[in-house]
Structure 1
Amino acid sequence: MKRSLQLIAILSLIIVSSAYGQVDTTDRGEPPIDGYIGLVKKDKRAPMPLAELKPENISYSKRVWQNIDGRLRINRGITSPSNNLMGILLKHIKNGSITAYDPTPNVEKEDPNGDAFKTCLSSGEAVLRLTGKDSVLVEIFDENGEVTDQDWVNPEFDPTSVFLFRIKEDWIFDEQRSVFEPRIIGIAPLIFPKIDRGIGISMSMDLGEGIDDTKDPFVSNDSVASSSEYDAFSMDPQPAFWLYFPEIRNVLVNEFMPNDYNDAEGISYDDFFIGRHFDSYIVKVSNSRDLRIKDYKRTKTEQLLESERLKRELMNYQNDLYRN
C-alpha cells in the first residue's frame, strides 16, 4: 500500500511538472521559442470584406494622392525595426505572393501617371528599383548541403530606411448606404533620386539613408549649403513601384504593428490602413489639368497649407451631405 502511494505521488509530480514546465525542444534539434506569446499559434486571418459599391449608387468621387511619413510619431510603427512595412512588402514580393508594378508613365498603355498597375515587375526588378543595384540570386542549402530553394538577396538594402509611402485612393459617396468614405487603391514606397553634384542626376537611386530624423520635410533648405553627396529634400521622392492594395490586404491582415503600450495587443497593417490610423498630407487631387500641388504652389509651406485646405474641402463636403 505504501509503495502504491509513493508511485502515485511520483506520477503526480511528473504530470504537474509537464503541465507547468516550459516546453523543451532542444533535444529535437529545434530552437527554443523566445517568450510565451510565441507559443500561441494564430490562425491565418482573411481581410474584412468591404461593402460592395454599385456605379449607379455613387453620386460623388474624387481621386486623391497622399504621402505617409514614417517619421511622424503616429506613423512610427511602419518603420519599426521589428516588423516594418517595407520589409514585409519586400518579403512577399520576393516569394511571389504580391505583385509589384512599374511606376514609369506610359501613355500607350493608358497609364500617364505610372500608377495604373499596367506593367508587372519581377522580384529582381523591384529590388533594383529600390536600391539601384542588381540583386543577387543565391541558393539556399539544407543541413546536408543540398540546394532547397533560391532567393533574391541584396545585403546593402535596409528596409527601415524607407520612411515615405504614397497612397492612391478614391473618396466616394454611396447614396444607397449614405456613406462618404475613402477606398485605397494602391500604395508605393517612395525613394529619393541620387544627385551627383558634379554631373547631375544619377540613374541609380538612394533610399535617403543617413537623413537627419529631426529634419522638417516641409521646410525648404535651398539656401543651406550642403557638402554631402546628395540632398534628399532638394528633389521630390519618387515611387519605386506600385502595389495593388486589394491584393496586398491578404498579406497585411496577418502582419502586426508593434504596440508601445501592450505587446500582446497589436493592430494589423490592414487595420492600420482601413481604420485610417495614420497621418498624411495630400500631394495631388484629380483635376482637369492633372496638376500636382507642387505645380501651382512653390514653397513647402504653401504646399502644406494647400494640402490642409483640400482636406477641409473633403470634410466639408461630408458635413454638408449630412447637414442637408
Structure 2
Amino acid sequence: MKKYLTKFLCLTVVLTLVFSVADAQKQKKRAATKRSNTTTKKTTKGKTKANIKSGGQVDSVAAVVSAPPAAPRIDSLPVPKVKKSLRLDEAVETKDIMDRTPLAYEHLRADDAVFRHKIWREIDTREKVNLPFRYSADENTGNQRFISILLKAIQDSAVTVFDPIDDRFTTPLTISQVSKLLGGGGDTVPHYNDQGVIDRYDYKAREINLDSIYKFKIKEEVIFDKESSRLFWRILGIAPVRNIYSSSGEYQGPADVFWVYYPDMRPIFAKYQTYNGKNFGARMTWEELFETRMFSGRIIKSTMDNPFDLFIAANPGLKDNGVFQLLEGERIKEKIFNYEQDLWSY
C-alpha cells in the first residue's frame, strides 16, 4: 500500500511541474506580443509627429505633401447634349426615318473578283462639297456634326472603336481611352496656400473643340466583279484626324484618333440625315451619302504599285511636294477608271 501511495505522489509532482512550465511559456509569448505592439505604436507616432516652429521651419521630420492624385477615369465623351422638342418641329411626318435599315450588300465571290485594290482617302471637310460633315445644327437626334454622330455612337456603346496603332481593327478601345486620344483628359494643377506652399493638387479637365477635327480618313476596297460586270466600292473603316501640338504650341502633325468599322456604322448612319442644300424636297441619310459617294477625298495610299506599303507622302521625291502627291493620287484614280472602261467592248 505504501508503494502505491509513493508512486501516486511522484506522478502528481511530475504533472504539476509540466503544467507550470507550459503556463510560464504562454505568459512569455503574451508579453512578447504586447511589447512588439507597443513598439510599433511608438514608432508610427514618432514618424507622423513633426514639431513646427514659427516661420514655417520643421525641427525633426519634414512635412509630407500629398502626392499628385492619379487622373480619374473619364467614362464620358464630349458629346453635345441636345434637348428633344416637346412638339412636332416639322410640318411633315418624319418619324419613320428612325426605323430605316440599310440594304444588305450584294454578295461578292472571291473567284469573281478579277480586280481588287485597297484605297485610303483623306476627306477635308473645309472643301465646299464636304460641308455637310460640319453641319452643326441641333435636332432631335442630337448634334448633326459628323464627329458628334461618331462620338454619340461610341458613348452609347452602339459600335466598337479600335486603336489607331493600325487600320486593321485589331485592338478595341474603352471610352476613357478614346477621351484621352481626343485630346481630353486633364492636367494636375498644384494649389498653393497663404504661405506659398503646395498643400494639395487639383485635377482640371481639358475642353475639346469638336470643330478642330475637320479631317477624316476612309479605308475602302475597289472590286471589279466579272459576274455582274460592275465596279464596286466598299468602305471598310473611318477614322477622324486631329492636329497634334506640343506643350509650347508647336505644330507636330496630324494623327488618327480612332478607327470604326464602317459596316457596323451603317445602321446608325441610316438614322441620321445630312444637310443637302441642292435638294429642296428631301434630305439623304449619311448611309446614302457614303454609298452614292457624295463626298470628295484625295487618295493618300493604295496597294497599286506599292510593294513597300508606303503612303504617297512617304515615297521618295514626293515627301516635300504636295502638288506631286495630288497628281499621284489622280493617277491612281485614272488608272482604276481606265481599267473598268477597257473591259468593255462596243
For the criterion TM > 0.5, the same-fold answer is: yes
Partner Cα distance (2:132, 2:298) in 1:
18
1:117 maps to what in 2?
169
Cα contact 1:188–1:239 (8 A) shared by 2: yes
Contact 2:186 2:206 (8 Å CA) reproduced: no
2:85 aligned with 1:36: no
TM-score normalised by length of structure 2: 0.63
Residue 230 of structure 1, aligned match among 245, 250, 254: 250
Deviation at 1:196, TM superposition (A): 4.2
- Name structure 2 gaps, 5 residues minimum: 1-83, 138-143, 188-204
Please report the TM-score for the alignment, with normalisation by the length of structure 1.
0.67
CA-CA distance at 1:159 after TM superposition: 2.5
SS in 2 for 1:92: helix
Query: Could you give the per-residue CA deviations for residues 129-176 of structure 1, whole angstroms, max 9, x where no partner exists?
Result: 1124269xxxxxxxxxxxxxxxxxx78223232111100011101111
Identify which of 294, 303, 321 aligns with 2:325. Answer: 303
Between stretches 68-77 and 125-134, larger displacement belongs to 125-134
Q: Quote the RMSD (CA, aligned, Å).
A: 2.2
Q: Match of 1:230, as an amino acid?
A: E
1:186 matches 2:237? yes
Contact persistence 1:68–1:280 (CA under 8 A):
yes
Task: Provide the C-alpha distance between the structure 2 equivalents of 1:123 and 1:263, rounded to a whole number of angstroms.
Answer: 38
Contact 2:185 2:206 in 1 (8 A): no
Structure 2 Cα separation of the partners of residues 46 and 40 of structure 1:
15
Give the 3 Å change call, closer, same or farther, for CA 159–263 of structure 1 in structure 2.
farther
Give the deviation of 1:36 after TM superposition.
Answer: 2.4
1 CA distance for matches of 2:147 and 2:236? 18
Letter in 2 for 1:53: L
Deviations 1:185-233 (A, max 9, x none): 0010011121345xxxxxxxxxxxxxxxxxxxxxxxxxxxxxxx233xx
Q: What's 2:269 paired with?
A: 252
Distance 2:93 2:225 in 1: 44
**Partners of 1:291 and 1:185 in 2: how far apart?**
19
Query: What does residue 5 of structure 2 align with?
Result: none
**Structure 1 residues without counterparts, runs of 5 or longer:** 1-29, 105-113, 136-153, 198-228
Structure-2 residue corresponding to 1:88: 149
The corresponding residue for 1:274 is 291
- Larger C-alpha radius of gyration, 1 or 2? 2
Partner residue, 1:313 = 335
2:302 pairs with 1:285: yes
Alpha carbons of 1:303 and 1:196: their partners in 2 closer, same or farther (altered >3 Å)?
farther
Q: Does 1:294 align with 2:313?
A: yes
Q: Is the 8 A contact 1:67 1:282 kept in 2?
A: yes
Does 1:157 pair with 2:208? yes
